[in-house]
Amino acid sequence: MSHSKRSNIFLLDAERTTWHDETLWFVRQKRDKAVYATPEFQELRQLASDIKDHTLSRLDFYLQQFEENARRNGVQVHWAADAHEHNQIVLGLLKRHGATRVVKSKSMLTEECHLNPYLIKHGVDVVDTDLGERIIQLRDEAPSHVVLPAIHLKKEDVGDTFHLHLGTEKGNNDPQQLTETARQHLREKFLVSEVAISGVNFAVAETGSVVVCTNEGNADLGVNLAKVHIACMGMEKLIPRLSDLSVFTRILTRSATGQPITTYTSHFSKPAEGKEMHVVIVDNGRTKQLGRPDFRNSLKCIRCGACMNTCPVYRRSGGHSYDFTIPGPIGAILSPNIDMRKHASLPFASTLCGSCTDVCPVKIDIHTQLYKWRQVLGQEGEIPASKKWSMRLLSRVLSKPAVYGLGGKVARQGLRFLPHGLTHGKGYNPWAIARELPEPPKQSFREWYAQQAVK
């Protein structure tokens, strides 16, 4: 199903769409406030972009440096070429420890690899411990945002979900009380889990450490109580030096939620005494993206979600309409790399206004890449027939001034007496579905201009 068809489902509830739009815009405004209060923010963006550019240009070196240092620290490093291998490695580690209970902190990579269904299929009780992730896990949904996974839900939805699964009173929609219920429920899970899985926000090559940022402390609680910590990371998470973290920790949360920093910014270098730590480095299409000069930049993404919060299309269509792990503008660049045919409509889910590029803390040229994907998709014949033929027709008309002039004249006259039902037919004028056509002007600009020239 295309993005626009999925959006139509979301748009059926106009009130909720407006609420979704306003909620995300509120987060975008918090971002602005935090950014304006940081005098060197633009310099930090450039530094972050340059550090990532450098890292990607020497990725083979940094991957090996990271591996070597992590091993020296007593961390076991694994490599996974694709999602399936990643899942196999994780399951293998669980089996080796006879572990059936696992707590997981937020990780878009494990979402990308569909780790949860894989583990559940193999008899593992895997519990997401980030509150938003837990809510959508109970509802059997996917996250709709990378930082705010349950942003599409209202407190009534969460109240109903908790009533059904956690036994809260029906109609109790108080966020404070619901969070307290989740705290008690998840604490039980934390205390008995043999293995904890975390994502990775940054991996530092020079020290062999991984850095995990959370506000809830769920990653730390899970990992520090379990006997085994498995950190799953996309290979693009690498940065060269510990000091580079100063740049990234300053831009990440300010861009994401407008906070000065996450509550917990934790550095894991060595397993605790008597315990195990594993890092799984995952490719899953990233090396392919590295080889595409036009789209390579997307590997710099630090998953702050700023592009989603600012995107007028994302805010009014919801994360699920993208049908991809990473939604929004950045997801629309990343997804065709994985499956061009399936995600062919996503690069068109943008107004190309460039707001995503403006807020991106690592200066990814998001809207330019969206435009480039459209060219690629056009050449590959992945554009819907209606769009393809109307574009072809339009390009013919626009290339012949006489035809264009005549067409304008016919339209100006025709619109006056054609019945509304004909000019606004949903079948052939999608533009008019939610809009009125403008009043046709008496003359065209060219006619008006010709008159001015005479005077």
Partner 1 sequence: MSSSREKILAAVRTNQPVELPLPTVPSFEGDDSVEKFTSIVQGIGGTVVEVADATRLPEVIHQLFPADYRIASPLLPEANVPVTAQTPIEVLAAVDLAVLQGEFGVAENGSIWVPEANMLHRALPMITQHLALVLDRRNLVATMHQAYARIPSVGGYGTFLAGPSKTADIEQSLVIGAHGARSMVVLLV
Q: Which positions from 9 through 68 interact with partner 1, judged by CB under 8 A?
A: 23, 26-27, 38, 40, 43, 47, 50-51, 53-54, 56-60, 63-64
260: contact with partner 1 by CB under 8 A = yes
DSSP string, 141-185: ---SSSS-TTTT--HHHHHHHHHHHH-PPTT---HHHHHHHHHHH
By CB under 8 A, the residues from 153 to 172 that bind partner 1 are 153-155, 158
- Choose among 357, 354, 325, 320: nearest CA to 338: 325
Instruction: Select 9 or 191, whichever has its Cβ closest to partner 1.
Output: 191
CA angle 316, 321, 323 (to 5 degrees): 150
CB of 35: closest distance to partner 1 in angstroms?
13
CB of 257: closest distance to partner 1 in angstroms?
7
344: contact with partner 1 by CB under 8 A = no
Instruction: Select 114 or 275, whichever has its Cβ closest to partner 1.
Output: 275
- Choose among 52, 20, 3, 37: nearest CA to 360: 52
Query: How many chain residues interact with partner 1 (CB under 8 A)?
Result: 92
The residues with which 93 forms a beta bridge, in sequence order, are none
173: phi then psi, degrees, rounded to nearest 5:
-115, 20
By CB under 8 A, the residues from 70 to 99 that bind partner 1 are 73, 78-81, 85
Amino acid in position 368:
T
- Choose among 74, 105, 49: nearest CA to 233: 105
Instruction: Select 270 or 374, whichever has its Cβ closest to partner 1.
Output: 270
By CB under 8 A, the residues from 272 to 311 that bind partner 1 are 272-273, 281, 283, 287-288, 290-291, 293, 296
By CB under 8 A, the residues from 171 to 200 that bind partner 1 are 175-176, 178-180, 182-183, 186-187, 190-191
- Return the residue of 76, 224, 337, 368 that touches partner 1, per CB under 8 A: 224
Are residues 412 and 440 in contact, defined by beta-carbon separation less than 8 angstroms? Answer: yes
By CB under 8 A, the residues from 421 to 440 that bind partner 1 are none
SS3 271: coil
- Return the residue of 114, 163, 165, 270 that touches partner 1, per CB under 8 A: 270
